Structure 1
Amino acid sequence: MPTTPPEPDAIPPVWFSVPDGFHSLPIAATPEERAALADGFVRELFPNGDDALWASTAPYYAGMGELMGSCGHEYSALGLFARDEGGVAHCAFNVGAVESRHPSAEAAATGVREVLVRDSTNDVRWLDLPCGPAVSSVTLREFTVPAELAADGEETKLRAGQIQIHVPFPTGPYIGVFTLDTASMDYWGEFCEMTAVVMQTVSFSPPQE
């Protein structure tokens, strides 16, 4: 899935594939484009909804798309997957880029790894992807939800995981940052495997017809 076509001085394009169950947030340059994309987004997200539901929820997701774009994300999606036991396992998946005037992709990846390993809470690993070197960082955290905010009125512990992969662009002075966040920790293994599959599809060249 390509990012938005680049304009002068914009981030070079990158292609990748995501599985069914990912719903792309409406990131676009103008309010009109975001509104049109948001309308399609809510119809895809709520296929059994009606015009009233779609009309009431589309502005919220248009705003989410604007927020994600303002944070520098080139792509942002909600991942929703049916659980065998009922309910939905969910995640957020974002792709952005940071400027890095690295002399080579290998040098950039080495520098990223040296920075990330300084935090002992990160599980940092070097990756050799088809598109080139990359560095992954996995972090697990536990949060306390106050009783007044918990559904059952009792203080609750919430665990969440983040997978972040830094992929230096060989075609320009940027590092792509692919991030998956989830609180569905009982499906953590599946999300790790899914992210690994997505990263195998990353390419800085247009896909072959």
Structure 2
Amino acid sequence: MRHPTERPPVWFRLPPGFHSIGTADRDSLDGFARAFESDAAQAELAQLMAGLDQLGALDVVHTALGFHPAEDGGVCTSLFSLTILAADDPNPRLSVARIALSMARSSAWETSAQRVIDLPSSLPCYLVGGTITGPDGEQSLFQARVATTHPAGFHLLVLDLTSPALEHQEAYTDILEAIAHTLTFTDPDPSPATAAPRSRVLDLLR
């Protein structure tokens, strides 16, 4: 029997364009930055890895970077993260409602909207999305957050997707909701590799 304080296993599917990243990838990313022979690239990488170290201390168990083509020929970037927290109440629906309310009331929001998500598992799930003030206090960022629970009731799951591409906030909200729909708590049966399906984000951000 799994102890209530142990983090439970969670599986989910990221759409095309997202690449999982962690502190173990530091050396390969550092080599990638050096290949550009750019001090700015190496400085940005150092800032990114420092941020990932901080996230690890905040119960974040998975991070991924999203890269999708922008209409102007550039690239839209985003950061996905999954956090697993110990539930503060034996009633999972009450725990999820509390954390969703806490997220919605955060002073970081410039604008926000909330809604309930109907998951196939019937677990309680809430989404909060809107714009927040960036770390520099000047740039606004889009962020969508989903709160749900592990079926055992001992842990809460928080999924985050953040991007500076404010013009695509509706698409990014749909992406995060789609990821939430893929959450599963038993190891899915392996299946033969198939061609990756077209992602709605690719369609919307082209």
TM-score by length of 2: 0.70
Bigger Rg, which one: 1
Aligned-pair CA distance for 1:62: 4.7
Match of residue 21 from structure 1: 17
Letter in 1 for 2:113: D
Secondary structure, counterpart of 2:53 in structure 1: helix
Higher relative contact order (CA 8 A, sep 6+): 2
What is the aligned counterpart of 2:8 among 2, 7, 12?
12
Gaps of 5+ in 1: 1-5, 28-33, 147-156
> Number of paired residues?
181
- Deviation digits for residues 96-142 of structure 1 (CA, Å, limit 9, x no counterpart): 12211433433323334455565695422222212322111113246
The 8 Å contact of residues 15 and 205 in structure 1, kept in 2 or not, is answered as: yes
Aligned-pair CA distance for 1:12: 0.6
RMSD: 3.5
Secondary structure, counterpart of 2:73 in structure 1: coil
Tell me the distance in 1 between the aligned counterparts of 2:187 and 2:119: 16
Match of residue 85 from structure 1: 72
Secondary structure, counterpart of 1:39 in structure 2: helix
% identical aligned pairs: 20
After superposition, residues 85-104 of structure 1 pair within 5 angstroms as 85-104=72-91
The 8 Å contact of residues 100 and 147 in structure 2, kept in 1 or not, is answered as: no
Letter in 1 for 2:128: S
What is the aligned counterpart of 1:38 among 26, 29, 33?
26
Gaps of 5+ in 2: 191-206
Aligned-pair CA distance for 1:21: 1.8
What is the aligned counterpart of 1:68 among 52, 55, 59?
55
Tell me the distance in 2 between the aligned counterparts of 1:143 and 1:62: 18
After superposition, residues 52-201 of structure 1 pair within 5 angstroms as 57=42, 60=46, 62-115=49-102, 122-131=112-121, 132-141=123-132, 158-201=139-182
The 8 Å contact of residues 79 and 161 in structure 2, kept in 1 or not, is answered as: yes
Tell me the distance in 1 between the aligned counterparts of 2:177 and 2:118: 11
Match of residue 154 from structure 1: none
The 8 Å contact of residues 68 and 76 in structure 2, kept in 1 or not, is answered as: yes
Tell me the distance in 2 between the aligned counterparts of 1:113 and 1:64: 24
Tell me the distance in 2 between the aligned counterparts of 1:64 and 1:84: 28
The 8 Å contact of residues 144 and 161 in structure 2, kept in 1 or not, is answered as: yes
Larger CA deviation: 11-20 vs 127-136: 127-136
